[in-house]
Amino acid sequence: MASTALRRLKWEKFRFLNNLSKRKNNCNQNHTRTICQRKTNQYICHSQLVCCRTFHSSPVCHELVQFKLADIGEGIREVQLKEWFVKVGDHVSQFDSICEVQSDKATVTITSRYKGIISKLYYDVDDIALVSKPLVDIETDADSPGTTQSSPSSSEVSSSSSDDEHSMQRIRGQKVLATPAVRRLAMENKIKLSDVEATGKDGRILKDDILKYMEDPSVGKQAKSKAPLATPPAVSVEPSKPAPVVSTTPIQPRITLPVGKDHTEKIKGMRKAMVKTMTEANNIPTFGYDDEIDMSALVELRSKVKAITDEKGVKFSYMPIIMKAVSMALTEFPMLNASVDKTCENITYKAVHNIGIAMDTQDGLIVPNVKNVQSLSIFELAAELNRLQSLGLAGKLGTSDLSGGTFSLSNIGAIGGTYARPVILPPEVSIGALGKIQALPRYDNHGNIVKKNIMCVSWSADHRVIEGAYMARFSNLLKSFLENPGLIMLYLR
C-alpha cells in the first residue's frame, strides 16, 4: 500500500509540473519569478492562476519617476525657479502644483502628472532650470497611472491620508503666501516676509502690505508683539545749568561711514529678455520724429462717455481711442505695421494690427499686445487693456499676451514725461511714445491766446526701410483723427 501511495504521489507531481510547463510556453506576457516557501522555484504567469497549498508573498514596487521640465514653447530653453510648492517627503496627486517658474516671457505654474511622494528636488529657489531636464523625483503610488499594484488595506489608507493632511497643515503653517512681484519687492528692500502682517486672502501678503511696512515698520508682526507697554512720562525738575563754555578748539571733520554695502545679483527673468532685445535694437539705424497734438476735443469726449464705462466696470482712459486711431492710420501706411528679417533682406507686411503697450512692472519692462485692434470696438479695447494691466501687475501674463506684436506704443505720459526717444522692438520697424496731456497757451485761428490740452508724441522708425516723410504723413493723419474725433466715427469700419 505504501509503495502504491508513493507512486501516485510521484505521478501527481509529474502531472503538476508538466501542466505548469505548458502554461509557461503558451503565455506571451512577461513572467515574474516568485520564490515560494517550498523548496522548489517555479515561473508563474499572472494571467493564469495556479492553485498551491503554500503561501507566498512579493513586495509592492514603487516606481521612481524623474519628472522633467516640459517644453513651454516660444523656443525657451531655460527658466528661473521662483517658488517651490512642495518639499521632499510631500505627497502629491495629479494636477497638484509643484513649483512656479519664470521665463523671459511669462510666469508658469508647473503641475504634477503623477501621484506619489516627492523624493528629490533638483533645484533651489532662484536657480536656472533647463527644459527637458529632471525637476523632481517622484515615487509613484500603487494606483498611479502606468502602474498596477494591489490596493493597500483600509488601515494603511487611513494612516497615510492622516499623515498627508498633517504634512500639508505643517506646510501651510510655515509657508508665506506672496506673488513673485511682492517677493522681489521685499528682497530689494531687505524685508523679511515673516515680519510683515498679511491682509490678503488666506494670509497672503500683498504689495500694499510691503509698502505699509516700509513706511512704518511698527505695523509688522514682531514690532506689535515686542512693543512695550506705554508708561506715563516721569516729571522731573531740571536744576539750573551754568553758562556754557565756548571752546576754542577747531572743529574736526566728521568721519562718515557708507550706508549699506554693495551687492551684485544676476540679471534674469524679464530683465534678461530686455537685455537681449535692446542689444538687438542697438543694431538698428533709427530716426526720430516729434509733434504736438491738440487733445481738447478728445478730453471733452472722454468726460462724456467715462460715466457709462464706469457703470459697466471698465476703466476708460485715452489709450483705447488712441489705439483705434493708430490702427486706422496704419491701414493707410502699412509699411509701419511690418517686420524685417535679421539681415534686412525681406519685409513682411502684417495683415493684423497687434498693438503692444509698454508696461512698467516690478519684474521689469514688458510689452503685452492687444490682438486684432482693427476688428475691435473702442469699448472692447478698453476692456482688453484692463485685463492686460491686471495680469501684468500680478505677474501672470501668458506667452500669447507677450508675443506676436506688430506695432508698439509707450505711454510715458502716465509717469510724467513729455518727449521721449522710444527704442524699436525687433523685428518691428516703428514705435511711438505718448507724453502727458498738459494745459498750455496756444494761438487760435484768430490770433487769440487760448487754453489747449496738448500731448507730445515721439516716433522712432527703422531708417533702413522707413523714410522720414512717410512717418510724417502717418503722424499727420493720426493727428487729424485725434484732434477731430468725429473723423474716427466717419472712417470707422
Contacts of 231 (CB under 8 A, 6+ apart): none
Residues present in the chain in total: 493
Pull the grid cell for residue 96: 497638484
The reply to whether 463 belongs to the active site is: yes
- The one catalytic residue in 62, 91, 446, 463 is 463
Pull the grid cell for residue 108: 508658469
Q: How many CA atoms lie within 13 A of 116 on its CB side?
A: 24
Determine contact, residues 219/197, Cβ cutoff 8 Å.
yes
Q: What angle do CA 223, 225, 228 make, to 5 degrees?
A: 80
Pull the grid cell for residue 398: 501668458
Query: Cα dihedral sign for 333, 334, 340, 345?
Result: negative
Residue 379: name the closest of 311, 278, 438 by CA.
311
Three-class HEC string of the chain = CHHHHHHHHHHHHHHHHHHHHHHHHHCCCCCEEECCCCCCCEEECCCCCCCCCCCCCCCCCCCEEEEECCCCCCCCCEEEEEEECCCCCCEECCCCEEEEEECCCCEEEEECCCCEEEEEECCCCCCEEECCCEEEEEEECCCCCCCCCCCCCHHHHHHHHHHHHHHHHHHHHHCCEECHHHHHHHHHCCCCHHHCCCCCHHHEECHHHHHHHHHCHHHCHHHHHHCCCCCCCCCCCCCCCCCCCCCCCCCCCCCCCCCCCCCCCCCCCHHHHHHHHHHHHCCCCEEEEEEEEECHHHHHHHHHHHHHHHHCCCCCCCHHHHHHHHHHHHHHCHHHHEEECCCCCCEEECCCCCEEECEEECCEEECCEECCHHHCCHHHHHHHHHHHHHHHHHCCCCHHHHCCCCEEEECHHHCCCCCCCCCCCCCECEEEEEEEEEEEEEECCCCCEEEEEEEEEEEEEECCCCCHHHHHHHHHHHHHHHHCHHHHHHHCC
Alpha carbon distance 223, 60 (integer Å): 53
Query: Annotated catalytic sites, by residue?
Result: 463
